[in-house]
Structure 1
Amino acid sequence: MKHRSLLFLMIFIYLGATPVFAQVKGLPKKQKQEQTKPKPKQEQPKPNPEAKIKPQPPNENQKEEDFWSFTRDIDTKEAYESFLSKYPNSKYLSEAEQKIAELSKPKIDPKYLPEVVYVEGGTFTMGCRERGSFCSDDEKPAHQVTVSSFSIGKYPVTVEEYRYYCIQTGIIMPDAPSWGWHDDHPMVYVNWNDTQGYVNWLSRETGKNYRLPTEAEWEFAARGGNQSRDYNYSGSNTIDEAAWYGKERAGQRTHSVGGKKGNELSLYDMSGNVWEWCQDWYGEDYYNNSPSINPKGPSSGFSRVLRGGNWFDGTTYCLVAHRHTSHPGNRSDDRGFRIVLSR
């Protein structure tokens, strides 16, 4: 009986009391677990791209200010002209116009700019006009040519003018001829390629269009343009009036420009003194198919045209129709050049 009572007591404890004790003993542990368990993070609301404030585009005043600042940084004539084309009524109008005027001034001392003579365009007969044995085959046939207006150097480019170019650019001056350099003599020892450097420099520094004359422009000017009296030499039928020619007669050297009679346009030394490079390639048969308006020579070739005769050779070479030629890389003490200023 005693053992049976003890058995019932053990069953009671196992079946009934265990949950109670578990609740009593487990409560602090469960609470502790709940207290130490990390709380879940609250999700942040995602940003709405459409809710962002869009930057406002610059207004016209700000655009003008930015463009003006950019223009001043560049500081060129073209930049200021571009600014005024976009903002013609700008508050910076006066300043921009002043800068354009300043930047338009030649950077070259005017003393060293070749003097030019205006030649009104016109029509003339180019080539040899049947002077018997004086006519060379490449001077035929005589043909009508029309040229537009241009300005051409009153004299060949002088030693002084070319030396200034060399000083300004760092180009090396050629060795002097046997008679030495004289400031008012025509520049020599320049090849065709050298002349391109010179005219390109003039154009760049002045903002104008300098170049060599075309062969047609050269002959039209040498003949006196629209005022031509049809002389055989430039300005006269008497060669001693118009030219330094023949080495004995010329003293075997160049002479001061303008020392002989000028032609109808007051152009000097277009016969004699030095050969003058032209822009054109040389074509022996070019006159057979030359354009009648502003001919510019063949599109390619081996040599370039020379005109006008020189101090060394005889009378035939000084005729206004005479054509001569040389490789563009050749230099000589009897070759110079004359510039053209075109529109």
Structure 2
Amino acid sequence: MKNSVKAAIIQKFFAAACLLAFSDGAFAQSEAITGPSTVEIPAGWFWQGSDGIERKYAYDIDEQVYGHDISRRNRWYDIEGDKWRVHLLPYHISKTPVTNDDYAKFIKDSGHAAPDISKDEWDRQGLIYNYDTIVPFLWKKGRPPKGRGNHPVVLVSWQDAQAYVEWLSEKTGKNWSLPSELYWEKAVRGEEGTFYPWGNIYDPALLNSGDRGPFDTTPVGQYDAGPFGLLDGVGQVFEWTSTSGQAGYRFVKGGSWDDRGCGVCRPAARHARPEHLRHILIGFRVMYRD
């Protein structure tokens, strides 16, 4: 073989090797874990909790929509903290709930169990939804349901969410956590203490709730941003917080795609759920402080 031919072959081989190395490097870079996109919540005061006027409004709209006064008779909203001024230092919180695509990176890297639940396990939780209702949300072979990558992840327990933030902290070097009720509420509600992120009048056009449908999760970011640029803070899915309601229970906040009214969608509203619960109405978002 002539030297010129040999040189040409070696040159092509070298070029191909360089391209492969570059591609591998690019792929590795694309797989780097940086965490969800965040918004910064500045230091300052805000109004947390609710007062009698706000709770009465919540009971009234529930009764108007549902045609009964179960929430009022059971005093669902009376467990909310009384309205008070709180000062928080700055922090960063994920702009949207953690999505299926976000969570899939965690599943792939850590080997943690994907969001899946058997019919027997589901039935033991004692929820009103039959198993057929949850099938569209189940993961298969460690992958999210087709076409739902940009939907909030659901069927995650509080322990699952905790495992995610521990993994994310290790991967990024930042101290990620679930937000406490205080940090969650300021980020969603803003500083002025309005009933909803947009004001004091409920508007079903501004969130994914059961008032207008589609009676399912939707891709995140379909509605107007809240006071700090945060998205999907009300409606869409309830979100786990780090705040304990009682032993073995954590507060969830924000309401969901299945709620109407929507007294329970107010950022001040709260109710506790078992830490082990996996529900199609509950997801989470994450935060960190510098």
Kindly tell me the number of residue pairs found equivalent between the two proteins. 217
Q: Which residue of 2 aligns with 1:142?
A: 83
Query: Could you list the runs of 5+ residues in structure 1 that have no partner in the other structure?
Result: 1-105, 284-300
Q: Which residue of 2 aligns with 1:270?
A: 233
How far did 1:240 drift? 2.1
| Superposed CA RMSD | 2.2
User: Structure 1 residues 108, 231: closer, same or farther in 2, change over 3 A?
Assistant: farther
Q: Determine helix, strand or coil for the equivalent of 1:282.
A: strand
Q: Determine helix, strand or coil for the equivalent of 1:178.
A: helix
Aligned match of 2:104 in 147, 163, 180? 163
Aligned match of 2:272 in 325, 332, 335? 325
Deviation by residue 1:151-208 (Cα, 9 ceiling, x = unmatched):
0000000000101110111112123843342000000000100011000001011111
Q: Which residue of 1 aligns with 2:54?
A: 131
How far did 1:132 drift? 4.7
How far did 1:144 drift? 1.9
The one-letter amino acid paired with 1:303 is Y
The one-letter amino acid paired with 2:234 is S
Deviation by residue 1:137-159 (Cα, 9 ceiling, x = unmatched):
11142122111110000000000
Q: In the aligned structure 2, how far is the partner of 1:276 from the partner of 1:223?
A: 14
Q: Is 1:115 aligned to 2:28, yes or no? A: no
The one-letter amino acid paired with 1:109 is E
The one-letter amino acid paired with 1:306 is V
Q: In the aligned structure 2, how far is the partner of 1:107 from the partner of 1:207?
A: 17
Q: Is 1:307 aligned to 2:231, yes or no? A: no
Aligned match of 1:179 in 133, 136, 142? 136
Aligned match of 1:224 in 184, 190, 205? 190
Q: In the aligned structure 2, how far is the partner of 1:219 from the partner of 1:274?
A: 15
Q: Determine helix, strand or coil for the equivalent of 2:288.
A: strand
Q: Which residue of 2 aligns with 1:38?
A: none
Q: In the aligned structure 2, how far is the partner of 1:167 from the partner of 1:149?
A: 32
Q: Determine helix, strand or coil for the equivalent of 2:223.
A: coil
The one-letter amino acid paired with 2:54 is R
More contact order relative to length (CA 8 Å, sep ≥ 6): 2
What are the within-5 Å matches in structure 2 for residues 67-86 of structure 1? none
Aligned match of 2:177 in 211, 215, 218? 211
Q: Determine helix, strand or coil for the equivalent of 2:279.
A: coil
Q: Which residue of 2 aligns with 1:199?
A: 165
Q: In the aligned structure 2, how far is the partner of 1:108 from the partner of 1:170?
A: 20
Deviation by residue 1:312-332 (Cα, 9 ceiling, x = unmatched):
122111111111210111110
Q: Determine helix, strand or coil for the equivalent of 1:211.
A: coil
Q: In the aligned structure 1, how far is the partner of 2:113 from the partner of 2:256?
A: 25
Contact 2:33 2:172 in 1 (8 A): no
| Identity, % of aligned positions | 30
The one-letter amino acid paired with 1:249 is R
Q: In the aligned structure 2, how far is the partner of 1:108 from the partner of 1:138?
A: 45
Q: Which residue of 2 aligns with 1:79?
A: none
Q: In the aligned structure 2, how far is the partner of 1:210 from the partner of 1:110?
A: 17
Q: In the aligned structure 1, how far is the partner of 2:206 from the partner of 2:113?
A: 33
Q: In the aligned structure 1, how far is the partner of 2:115 from the partner of 2:277?
A: 13
Q: Is the deviation greater in 124-133 or in 305-314?
A: 124-133
Q: Which residue of 1 aligns with 2:284?
A: 337
Q: In the aligned structure 2, how far is the partner of 1:282 from the partner of 1:108?
A: 40
If the length of structure 2 is used for normalisation, what is the TM-score? 0.69
Contact 1:151 1:342 in 2 (8 A): yes
Q: Which residue of 2 aligns with 1:54?
A: none
Q: In the aligned structure 2, how far is the partner of 1:189 from the partner of 1:242?
A: 25
Larger-gyration structure (1/2): 1
Q: In the aligned structure 1, how far is the partner of 2:220 from the partner of 2:275?
A: 24
